[in-house]
Amino acid sequence: MRRQKKFYAWGYADEDLTQDEIRPWEAEIAQRYGLSGFDVKAPPKADEITLRASRVEVPSALQAMVRTDHLTRLEHSYGKAGFDTLRMFMRSVPNPPDAVAFPETEEDIVKVLDWCDRIGAKAIPYGGGSSVVKGIEPSAAFDKVVTISTRHMDKVLEVDAVSQAARIQGGIYGPAIEDALRDTPFTMRHYMQAYRCSTLGGWIATRSGGHYATLYTHIDDFVESTRVVTPEGTLETRRLPGSGAGPSPDRMFIGSEGILGIITEAWVRLRKKPTFRASASVRFRDFYTGADAVRDITQAGLYPANCRLLEAREALPGIPWSNEEAVLVLAFESPDHPLDAWMKRALEICAAHGGVADQSDDDENAHRSGAAGAWRNKFIRAPHYGEHAVARGILSSTFETSMTWERTRDFHAKITKIARDTIKAVTGRDGTVTCRFTHVYPDGPCLYFTFGGLFDPKKDALAQFMEILSTCTAATVEHGGTTTHHHAVGRFHRPFYDRQRPELFARALRGAKRELDPKGMMNPGVLIDP
């Protein structure tokens, strides 16, 4: 039986934070904002949310794979961003899909797309539903909407042990990939916070970023070939380790966000499972000193698996908000050789910048202990706090971008100030803003900002949320960064993406869409105009 997800928040219906997790978090929030307690709102029940009637009639030939029941439409209405949970708590879902299709084969997808064509419906591809950018959300402008879930196309079809690759269906969730590889020496090892509740096809369509801080960062690094069903037919790219034959056809679909077709299969690169690990945490007097060390590590070609620089107050419990220290979570792993030399050199670089290391002697479990372990646990559990923040009237969200090293310090200072000033202007209270590096490259880092505060109870909470998030995101583009490093564009980032990309490229992308989706049925409004 399929495990039921929460329709209103992150995760599964049978899981939640424990009271041992909630109590210290509540106490920290209360102390930070001078509160004596919280008025906790109950999460919504499905029958408390009214949906408009479905505007489509499912033909008998499709009734076995197309559903129009209340819960199915409700759980496919929003993604899992903070503003999605907030709207669910407001019991506000004005634009649900009219139907949700669950094809099991490419032929089924073709039948559903043909039906959408006949009735004039828009089609929204759907993997795990973990979008945080309104990438799977029907627009009010659509007359009819059919969401197409790939969850039944969830198999590892073939493993090439010689070339270390696998042919995998697009609807498979992350854990199922690793389960299928359990009896092999291989792993895909593309982890992110949404790993448990997202799919390979979704990773490719949204150009996802995994947990690897260097070298193996985006899904781009894994894709060998793709197979895509479009309204104009099915295409499959040639499986090659590399090619100089013109622009890469795979690149057209990596990051296409469902506007060109549905990714049904991909050959992806595998690696041997790591057997050697080394981990350390390093404290720096401030974030910028740590950033200088991270830059030198990255440019030394050491390629750590983890190289995340965090403000100490974000990384560790009990750190005062006045503390300016930073913590570097550093880790190496390999299937082939010990890592002492790599770690030794990285720590030498840290020491040259005043870093003080806390290195673990337990290589096998090093990533689960100390600051590295504290960060790991917080990283895994972080999405579950979203619904509890909303229930208590707490403003909490993130935005991420990237910048070249020579501008990082100035960029970080400007964006941090803008975020703080915006929270104060919108809510009337001081909030908190922290930053971490999640991915680092020889030429710059990904800066991942987290902000929080209390909503002004006299103003609309959703309007406050969106004003703060939109202002901060706009600032990243205005000051030379990207509107998103690894969360895709969706409908939320679209205005900022329009400012970022060259207009001639937009015209070229529109041309590709006209060829593959001439009637504009596939996820319109994402990336380009319908």
Q: Is residue 160 in a domain?
A: yes
Domain boundary among 239, 272, 305: 272
Buried b (16+ CB within 10 A) or exposed e, 314-324: bbbeeeeeeee
| CA nearest to 443, candidates 481, 477, 405, 476 | 405
Q: Domain of 253: which CATH number?
A: 3.30.465.10
Q: Is residue 508 in a domain?
A: no
User: Among the listed ranges 25-34, 88-97, 140-149, 318-327, which one has the minimum average pLDDT value?
Assistant: 318-327
Q: Domain of 407: which CATH number?
A: 3.30.300.330
Are 469 and 83 spatial neighbours (Cβ–Cβ below 8 Å)?
Answer: yes
The percent of residues in the chain predicted with pLDDT above 70, rounded, is 94
The confidence score (pLDDT) of residue 378 equals 67
- Mind listing the pLDDT tens digit for each residue in 351-387? 999 999 986 655 555 555 555 566 666 667 888 899 9
Q: Domain of 75: which CATH number?
A: 3.30.43.10
Q: Are residues 308 and 369 in the same domain?
A: yes
Strands 99-101 and 145-149: parallel
The confidence score (pLDDT) of residue 322 equals 73
Q: Are residues 101 and 123 in the same domain?
A: yes
The confidence score (pLDDT) of residue 199 equals 98
> In the predicted model, what is the mean pLDDT of the chain?
94
Q: Are residues 253 and 327 in the same domain?
A: no
Per the structure, the complete domain to which residue 463 belongs is given by 393-486
Q: Are residues 428 and 466 in the same domain?
A: yes
Q: Is residue 11 in a domain?
A: no
More confident residue, 521 or 377: 521
Q: Are residues 141 and 163 in the same domain?
A: no
Positive or negative, the CA dihedral 75, 79, 83, 85 is positive
| Mean pLDDT for the stretch of residues 223-251 | 95
- Residue 42 makes CB contacts below 8 A (sequence gap 6+) with 391
pLDDT interval class at 436 (50, 70, 90): very high
Q: Are residues 221 and 261 in the same domain?
A: yes
The confidence score (pLDDT) of residue 316 equals 63
How many domains does the chain fold into? 4
Buried b (16+ CB within 10 A) or exposed e, 47-70: eebebeebebebeeebeebbbbee
pLDDT at 60 over 60: yes
Q: Is residue 175 in a domain?
A: yes
Beta bridge partners of 398: 450
Q: Is residue 493 in a domain?
A: no
Residue-wise DSSP of 448-502: EEEEEEE--TTS-HHHHHHHHHHHHHHHHHHTT--S-SSS--TTTSHHHHHHHS-
| Mean pLDDT for the stretch of residues 494-512 | 96
- The token pair at 157 is 């079809």
Strands 326-334 and 394-402: unpaired
Are 290 and 309 spatial neighbours (Cβ–Cβ below 8 Å)?
Answer: yes
pLDDT interval class at 333 (50, 70, 90): very high
Q: Is residue 410 in a domain?
A: yes
The confidence score (pLDDT) of residue 382 equals 82
Strands 122-126 and 145-149: parallel
Q: Are residues 285 and 373 in the same domain?
A: yes
Q: Are residues 361 and 448 in the same domain?
A: no
Q: Is residue 526 in a domain?
A: no
- The token pair at 9 is 């928040």
- The token pair at 222 is 């894994």
Q: Is residue 501 in a domain?
A: no
The confidence score (pLDDT) of residue 218 equals 94
Domain boundary among 221, 252, 272: 272
Q: Domain of 324: which CATH number?
A: 3.30.70.3450
Q: Are residues 199 and 104 in the same domain?
A: no
- Mind listing the pLDDT tens digit for each residue in 251-274? 999 999 999 999 999 999 999 999
Q: Are residues 98 and 144 in the same domain?
A: yes
pLDDT interval class at 37 (50, 70, 90): confident
Taking the C-alpha atoms of residue 46 and residue 103, their distance in angstroms, rounded to an integer, is: 25
pLDDT at 61 over 60: yes
- Mind listing the pLDDT tens digit for each residue in 136-195? 999 999 999 999 999 999 999 999 999 999 999 999 999 999 999 999 999 999 999 899
The confidence score (pLDDT) of residue 376 equals 64
The confidence score (pLDDT) of residue 362 equals 56
pLDDT interval class at 498 (50, 70, 90): very high
Domain boundary among 272, 287, 304: 272
Q: Are residues 171 and 261 in the same domain?
A: yes
User: Among the listed ranges 125-134, 169-178, 237-246, 308-317, which one has the minimum average pLDDT value?
Assistant: 308-317
More confident residue, 304 or 377: 304
- Mind listing the pLDDT tens digit for each residue in 74-130? 999 999 999 999 999 999 999 999 999 999 999 999 999 999 999 999 999 999 999
Q: Are residues 345 and 447 in the same domain?
A: no
